A and B are shown apart, each in its own frame.
Chain A
Amino acid sequence: KNEVEQSPQNLTAQEGEFITINCSYSVGISALHWLQQHPGGGIVSLFMLSSGKKKHGRLIATINIQEKHSSLHITASHPRDSAVYICAVSFPFGNEKLTFGTGTRLTIIP
């Protein structure tokens, strides 16, 4: 079964800290998505990766294809970064489905 695991499940940090959220998957993938869901429910796509590294503002996403692992980093964290962060992967072989991790709940304390 194709599985996606995220860690940690919950993370509380002080404002300004460097944050890392991890996503591991069991088999080779076509692409990996990082999503953000704020309290109130709306979901926003942060990154789509198939290799390497992407950066947007204070957010950095990396993926290691050989190790089947991706990380989402937040530099200089701020209370407005408090949200649930979700990774999702698509697998190859003609399969257009998405499989999701259960999410990481991040709380940044002022």
Chain B
Amino acid sequence: EAQVTQNPRYLITVTGKKLTVTCSQNMNHEYMSWYRQDPGLGLRQIYYSMNVEVTDKGDVPEGYKVSRKEKRNFPLILESPSPNQTSLYFCASSLTVNEKLFFGSGTQLSVL
């Protein structure tokens, strides 16, 4: 089954404790991206990747890191999380940015 697998589904952590949210797709997609969703602000793009070893900033990259060492995986790293990073996060993939998007099920992150 074609899917984007995102883990964990829920995460509660404390300020400053490094964490990683994983994202994996099984469709051989070149484009992968991360978004955060906040009430009243909608979805905003954090980082995206056009292919292996090719990443670029979205609209809200501060405080986040990504890597794309393999085509199928695109982890989101918060090296020193802060409370303003409490949000609902989504990973997505597609053949290109101008093709149908496939979303992961989301990660609800709370930073205390």
Contacts and interface: CB of A to CB of B under 8 A. Distances in A.
Describe A's contact surface by its main secondary structure.
strand
Given A42-B106, A99-B45, 17 more contacts: A31-B97, A31-B98, A35-B101, A42-B103, A42-B105, A43-B92, A48-B99, A88-B43, A90-B97, A96-B48, A97-B58, A98-B33, A98-B97, A100-B43, A101-B42, A102-B40, A103-B42
Given A30-B98, A42-B103, A102-B41, A96 B56 contact: yes
A20 B99 CA distance: 23
Contacts, number: 61
Interface residues of B, number: 27
Interface residues of A, number: 22
Interface of B: 31, 33, 35, 40-45, 48, 50, 56, 58-59, 88, 90, 92, 97-103, 105-106, 108
Interface of A: 30-31, 33, 35, 41-45, 48, 50, 86, 88, 90, 96-103
